[in-house]
Homo-oligomer: A and B are copies of this chain.
Amino acid sequence: MNCSLCATTCPYLPQWMRKSTKCRSWVRGSRLLIFQLNDIKTKFKKYVVTSTIQCVGLRRKEMSQHKPTESVQWDQGCIGTANWGGTRLCEFLEAAGFKKENSNVKHVIFEGLDSDSKNGNYCTSISIERALDPDCDVLLAYEMNGKPLSRDHGHPLRVIVPGVAGARQVKYLAKITLSEKEPNSKWQQLMNKAFPPGMDATNLDTTSMPAIQEMPVTSAITNLMEGDTIKLHGGKISIKGYAYSGGGSPILRVDASSDGGKTWHTANISYHHKEKKYPHHWTWSLWDIKLPVLAAAKEVDIWIKAVDSSYQTQPETVGHIWNIGGNLNNSYHKVKVKIEA
Interface residue A328 (Cβ < 8 Å from any Cβ of B): yes
Bound Cα distance A48, B194 (Å): 35
**B198–A310 CB distance below 8 A:** no
- Inter-subunit contact B310/A214 (CB<8 Å): yes
Q: Given B255, B261, B307, B328, which contacts A311 in the complex, CB threshold below 8 Å? A: B328
Closest to A254 in B: B196
Report whether A264 and B198 are in contact in the complex, using a CB–CB cutoff of 8 Å.
yes
Answer whether A312 and B197 are a contact pair too, CB < 8 Å, given A317-B261, A320-B264.
no
Number of A interface residues at 8 Å Cβ cutoff, please give it: 41
Give the chain B neighbours of A263 by CB distance below 8 A: 197-198
Is A40 positioned at the interface, with any CB of B under 8 Å from its CB? no
Considering the complex, give the chain B residue whose CB is closest to the CB of A250: B210
Query: Chain B contacts of A262 at CB under 8 A?
Result: 319
CB distance from A298 to the nearest CB of B (A): 25
Chain A contacts with B in 253-275, Cβ cutoff 8 A: 253, 255, 261-266
A266, B266: Cα distance in complex, Å: 35
Which residues of B are found within 8 Å of A328, using beta-carbon distances?
A: 311
**What is the distance, in angstroms, from A101's C-beta to the closest C-beta of chain B?**
15
Which residues on the B side are within 8 Å of A198 (C-beta)? 255, 263-266
Among B305, B312, B319, the residue within 8 A (CB) of A217 is B312
Q: Pull 19 A–B residue pairs with CB atoms less than 8 Å apart, ordered by A.
A: A194-B307, A194-B311, A196-B253, A196-B255, A196-B264, A197-B263, A197-B264, A198-B266, A199-B266, A208-B253, A210-B252, A216-B313, A217-B312, A247-B310, A261-B320, A262-B319, A279-B279, A315-B315, A316-B320
Mark A residues whose CB is within 8 Å of B. Answer: 194, 196-199, 208-210, 212-217, 246-247, 252-253, 255, 261-266, 279, 305, 307, 309-317, 319-321, 328
